[in-house]
Copies of this chain bind each other. A is one copy, B any other.
Amino acid sequence: MPDLIHDTASAAHFSDEKLCKTSLHESAHMFCDIYGLRPGQAQKVHAHAGSDKIYHVLTGTAEVILGDQTHSLTPGHTAIAPAGVDHGVRNASAEPSTLLVVMAPHPAFDG
């Protein structure tokens, strides 16, 4: 399949060191990544003043933090982090988890 079509089931990657981001697409408008999280891995809670982020769970279980709430999400669940809202994700389960992550606009596009 061409570069514009991706099978997220095979595109995800993992690292023993930390959460692994695989880029599917990026431009000044947005990035679209797959996050692969082994058990215990996390993205620290942070916020972006000028960009919205979407987390969509593909496989496994992911705890998504939004503001002061933590949500345990499973495949098919989508979490929205509007600009300025604290957000993060962690895998507190015993199995790997993967998420489709879109952020717009791209906070640091160097095209």
Listed in ascending order, the chain A residues whose CB lies under 8 Å from chain B are 1-9, 24-25, 27, 29-30, 32, 50-52, 54, 56, 58, 64, 66, 69, 71, 73, 76-83, 85, 100, 102, 104-105
Contacts and interface: CB of A to CB of B under 8 A. Distances in A.
A105 B102 contact: no
A78 B5 contact: yes
13 contacts: A5-B71, A5-B79, A6-B79, A9-B76, A24-B80, A25-B82, A29-B51, A29-B52, A29-B83, A29-B105, A30-B102, A78-B100, A102-B104
A78 B29 contact: no
Contact residues of A: prevailing secondary structure: strand
